[in-house]
Structure 1
Amino acid sequence: MTGTLAELLTDTVDGGASVGFLASLDRAAATAWWTQRCEAVAAGRLAVWTAREEPGRVLGTVSLALPDKPNSAHRAELVKLMVHRSARGRGLARRLLTVAEEAAAGQGITLLYLDTETGSPAEHLYRTSGWTEVGAIPDYAADPGGVLRPTTIYYKRLSPPPVG
C-alpha cells in the first residue's frame, strides 16, 4: 500500500502542490514518509482515508492528525488532502473532505483546522465546503520549487461549542 501512496505523493509534488516536500521527491523518500505515517496510524495519532480505483491504485487521500493532549481532545488537524492529477476535476477532493469531516464528528471531534498555500486551488474547495478563513502567515513554507509562500489557516466547527 505504501507504494501506491508514494506514487500519489510524488505526483502531487510534481504537479506543484505544496504539501511539505520539494520538487524531485523520489519514490524511496515518499515511501519512507508513508511508512512513518502508517506507524502514526498504528499508534492512534493519525487517521487516513484513501480513494482507490481498481486494481488498487490510490487516486486520493486525506488524513486527520488526532489530538494528543487532554485540552485538545475536541479538535483535529486536517492534513495532506491529495488527489492524483489524473483524477482531478471529478469531485474526489470534496468527497474525501466530507469523509474526514464525518469521521471526525463521529469520534466526537467538534473543531477541525488546516493550513493551505495561499492562492492555491484548495482554497476554493475549503471556502465552498464551509471552512472559515482565519488569516495568512507570510513566508510559511517553501513550495516544491523552493520559493517561500504564505499559508492560509482555516477552521470548521462540526458542532456547536460546548456550553459551560
Structure 2
Amino acid sequence: MTPPIRPGRDEDAEGFIALIGACWSEYPGCVLDVDGEVPELRALATHFRAAGGALWAAGEGGRVVGMAATRPMHQDRAWEVCKVYVAKEARGSGLAHALLGAVEGHARAAGAERLVLWTDTRFDAAHRFYEKRGFVRQGSIRILDDLSNSLEFRYAKPLAGLQVEALDAAAAASAERQLTRLLVDCVADGGGPAWLPPLAPAVAQDHWRGISSGVALGKAVLLVAWLEGEVAGAVHLRLDLPENRPHVAELRTLMVAPPARRRGVGRALMRRAEQAARGMGRRILVLDARAGGAAEALVRAAGWTALGTIPGFELGADHAPHDTAFFWKALVP
C-alpha cells in the first residue's frame, strides 16, 4: 500500500533530515551537513513557500518515509523538481511515482511547460526512475563545492501539450529505456517498421543504442515527442548515406505510441524531421512505409511524392507478405 501523502510542514524537519541522511548513506562519500550546507531543511515548508513552490511529505505515525518539492524557475515557464526521496522500506510501493505525480500536477496547474531537476551522478536508481518517467539528460554536469564532492546530472522533460525535441547524445542514451518500451509496444500493435512481434526488449534496446551512437558521431538525428509529459513517439534521420548523397537524408523508425495515435504526434514528428534535415542542408528526404497503412496515409498527407510500390516486400505480424511504398520529398531551403 502506498503511504499517504500530505503537504509538508516545518515541523517535519527532523523527519526530512533523517530520511535524506538515510538515503545519502547508501552512497559512499555522500555527507549530509545540515547547518553548513542545507540549513533550509530546518524550515523546508517555509523555504519552498517563499519561493512560490510546494512541499509534500509521506508517512504515518509521525515518521516521514517520502518527500518531494517543486518551485518555479522563472525562465522558459519551467519548474524545478526538488528533494525527491523515498525510504528503502517504502520503495516499490508506488510512493515515488505518487510523489512525482503530485509535483507534476502542481506544476502543470501553475502553467509549467517543462520540468527540470538535478541529481547526483552516483544516484543510479534515481536516474532509472526519472528516465522511466520520461525525463532525459540535458546540458553539462554541474559541479558543487560541497563536502560530498558532488557532480550532478541535469534532467528535463516537456510537461504541457505536444512538444517534439531533438536529443543530443547524452539525452538519446538516457531515453533508451523509454524508446525501447515504445518500440516493443508499436511492434506488438502491428506497427513496427522493421520487426515482427513479439520483439524482445534486448533487441529493441540494441537498436536504440545504435541510434544513440549515431547521434554522438553525427550520423543520425533523433527526435522524440512528449504528449502531456509522456513519451509519445519518435523518429530518426539517417545521415550516413553514400558519399555522393551528402544532400540526402533517410527518415526512419517513425513510431507513435498506440494510446497517443490520432492526436497529431506523427504529423508533428514528420514536420520537425523535415525542419531538422533542412537546417542541416539536406535537400531531399526518402522513406518507405507499409502500403495501405496509417503511415502511408500520414506521408501522403504531408506532401511526399510516391515513387512506387514493391509487392510483398515485407512480412506483416501475420507473417503474410505486404506491399511497401517508397516516397521522397524535396526540401525548400
Please report the TM-score for the alignment, with normalisation by the length of structure 2.
0.46
1:110 corresponds to: 283
More deviation, 34-43/99-108: 34-43
1:38 maps to a residue whose letter is S
SS in 2 for 1:33: helix
2:327 corresponds to: 154
Question: Any conservation in 2 of the 1:111–1:159 contact (CA below 8 Å)?
Answer: no
Question: Any conservation in 2 of the 1:5–1:34 contact (CA below 8 Å)?
Answer: yes
Please point out which of 133, 137, 153 is paired with 2:310: 137
Question: Any conservation in 2 of the 1:15–1:85 contact (CA below 8 Å)?
Answer: yes
The answer to whether residue 219 in structure 2 is matched with residue 45 in structure 1 is yes
1:69 corresponds to: 242
Q: Which has the larger radius of gyration?
A: 2
Distance change >3 Å, CA 53–CA 129, structure 1 → 2: closer
Question: Any conservation in 2 of the 1:66–1:75 contact (CA below 8 Å)?
Answer: yes
2:199 maps to a residue whose letter is L
Please report the TM-score for the alignment, with normalisation by the length of structure 1.
0.90
SS in 1 for 2:293: coil
Q: What are the residue-to-residue correspondences of 1:70-89 with 2, within 5 Å?
A: 70-89=243-262
Question: Any conservation in 2 of the 1:112–1:157 contact (CA below 8 Å)?
Answer: yes
* 1:29 CA drift (Å): 1.9
Mapped partners of 2:241, 2:307: distance in 1: 23
The answer to whether residue 12 in structure 2 is matched with residue 12 in structure 1 is no
Mapped partners of 1:72, 1:99: distance in 2: 21
- For residues 53-84 of structure 1, what are the alpha-carbon distances to aligned partners after superposition, in whole Å with 9 as ceiling and x for unaligned? 465x4210011111443310111111011000
1:22 corresponds to: 196
Please point out which of 19, 24, 35 is paired with 2:209: 35
Segments ≥4 residues shifted beyond 6 Å: none
Distance change >3 Å, CA 62–CA 81, structure 1 → 2: same
Higher RCO (C-alpha under 8 Å, 6+ residues apart): 1
Mapped partners of 2:228, 2:212: distance in 1: 22
Mapped partners of 1:39, 1:146: distance in 2: 31
SS in 2 for 1:95: helix
Mapped partners of 1:157, 1:113: distance in 2: 9
Question: Any conservation in 2 of the 1:17–1:143 contact (CA below 8 Å)?
Answer: no
Question: Identity percentage over the alignment?
Answer: 37
Mapped partners of 1:138, 1:68: distance in 2: 25
| Structure 2, unpaired ranges of 5+ | 1-174
| Structure 1, unpaired ranges of 5+ | none
Please point out which of 101, 107, 122 is paired with 2:295: 122
SS in 1 for 2:262: coil
1:9 maps to a residue whose letter is L
Mapped partners of 1:67, 1:31: distance in 2: 21
Mapped partners of 2:228, 2:264: distance in 1: 18
* 1:35 CA drift (Å): 1.2
CA RMSD of aligned residues (A): 1.5
Distance change >3 Å, CA 9–CA 18, structure 1 → 2: closer
